[in-house]
Amino acid sequence: MAHLKGLLRGPKFSGKHSTVIDTAILMVEAARESAHVTKIALGVITPLRAGRPHLKFTPVSGGLKMQVRGANAVQIFWLYTTQPGEVIREMESQWNQKN
The full DSSP string for the chain is -B--TTTT-STTEESS---B-GGGHHHHHHHHH-TTEEEEEEEEEEE--S---EEEEEEETTEEEEEEE-SSEEEEEEEEES-HHHHHHHHHHHHHHH-
Q: Is residue 24 part of a domain?
A: yes
Residues 35-69: tens digit of each pLDDT? 999 999 988 899 999 999 999 999 999 999 999 99
Count CB atoms within 10 A of the CB of residue 19: 13
- Let me know if residue 81 belongs to a domain: yes
Whether residue 18 lies inside any domain: the answer is yes
- Count structural domains, the chain: 1
| pTM higher than the cut 0.75 | yes
Residue 23 sits in which domain range? 13-98
25 neighbors 7 (Cβ within 8 angstroms): yes
